[in-house]
Amino acid sequence: MDGIMDLVRRKSASIALIIGVFVFWELACLVGGISDIVLPRPTQIIASLIEYWPAIQPHAAQTLFTTLVGFAIGVVIGILFGVGIGSSRLAYDTAYPLLVGISSIPKVAVVPIFVLWFGAGTVPAILTAAIISIFPIVVNVATGIATVEPELEDVMKTLKASKWDILWNVSLPRSMPYFFASLKVAVTLAFVGSVVAETVASNRGIGNMMMVASSTFNVPLVFAGLFILAGLGVGLYALFSIAESRVTGWAHRKDLAVT
């Protein structure tokens, strides 16, 4: 009972905060007389969301599509590399510095290169989303696999377990909390990637729609695009959070440092 009350209290506090921010925003714009060319009020944004919905909807679908496809590619490649690097001490020590180096490059800087290679359109957006989401996944999966307790490994080895047995029965399940933690980060990053690529080099997607809207000074529509992005991002984050608590509930019973 206490737990439920506690949950309601915590949730209601954050909902109240969100509503409070919007109310403050609305009032500040009204009282301060801020022009809607500079900062539209939330009600105006919602109005334009409704007004332009038929035009927005295909762009939103396009962005969601490129993000998810890119993210899926990123997850597959990320898991493969993560398992490879995490399973071998040598690979871990060798590849980790390179990984850190690459992951500190702002990935959006590669958009022009993708455009050069594949032309403007969907492909650069997908690839940007993929490449931006790979690294957190690789690093986390590799960490999860490389940090299996040596005692546990000893027990498995005395059972004459093969590398594959150990990976399948111990390392992979063990790295799931790390993996899901990185999924939540990666999916939001994937949005950043696809939207930036759309902004720069595409005639479809929310990023492109916002570019066009801002060039015609339709500022409420620009903000409507932001709202859509926020909604999609939060939605996917929530989806993976739920999946996480389903799959890795065991991990939240004890302290587990997830980076």
Partner 1 sequence: MSLALAAVAPVHDDDAAAHKSGMSPLVSHTRPFIEFEKVSVRFGKGDRQVQALAETSLSIHEGDFVALVGPSGCGKSTLLKLVGDLLKPSTGHVFVGGRELGATPIRIGMAYQNSTLLPWLTIRDNVMLPLKIVPPFRSQFRAKRRGEFRDRAEALLAQVGLAGFGDKFPWQLSGGMMQRANLCRALVHEPDLLLLDEPFGALDQFTREELWQIMQELWMAKKTTVLLVTHDLREAAFLGNRICVMSARPGRILDDSPVSFARPRTIDMTYEPDFVALNQQLRRLIVEARGGTGIVQAGGH
Taking Cα atoms as reference points, which of 171, 140, 26, 153 lies closest to residue 78? 140
Taking Cα atoms as reference points, which of 185, 183, 203, 193 lies closest to residue 229? 193
Residue keyed to tokens 């931006």: 132
Q: At what angle do helices 122-146 and 111-118 cross, to 10 degrees?
A: 130
Pick the binder of partner 1 from 176, 211, 226, 258 (CB under 8 A).
176
Pick the binder of partner 1 from 38, 254, 255, 257 (CB under 8 A).
254
Number of residues in contact with partner 1 under rule CB under 8 A: 22
Q: How far is the CB of 251 from partner 1 (least distance, A)?
A: 7
Reported residue count of the chain is 259
Stretch that binds partner 1, among 4-12, 166-174, 195-203, 208-216 (CB under 8 A): 166-174
Instruction: Write each residue from 130 to 159 as x if it is in contact with partner 1 (CB under 8 A), else as -, in one continuous string.
Output: -------------------x-xx-xxxxxx
Structure tokens at 222: 């620009």
Residue 53 contacts partner 1 per CB under 8 A? no
Residue 108 or 161 with smaller CB distance to partner 1: 161
Torsion angle, CA of 257/141/236/44, rounded to 10 degrees? 70
The residues binding partner 1 (CB under 8 A) are 149, 151-152, 154-161, 165, 169-170, 173-174, 176, 248, 250-251, 253-254
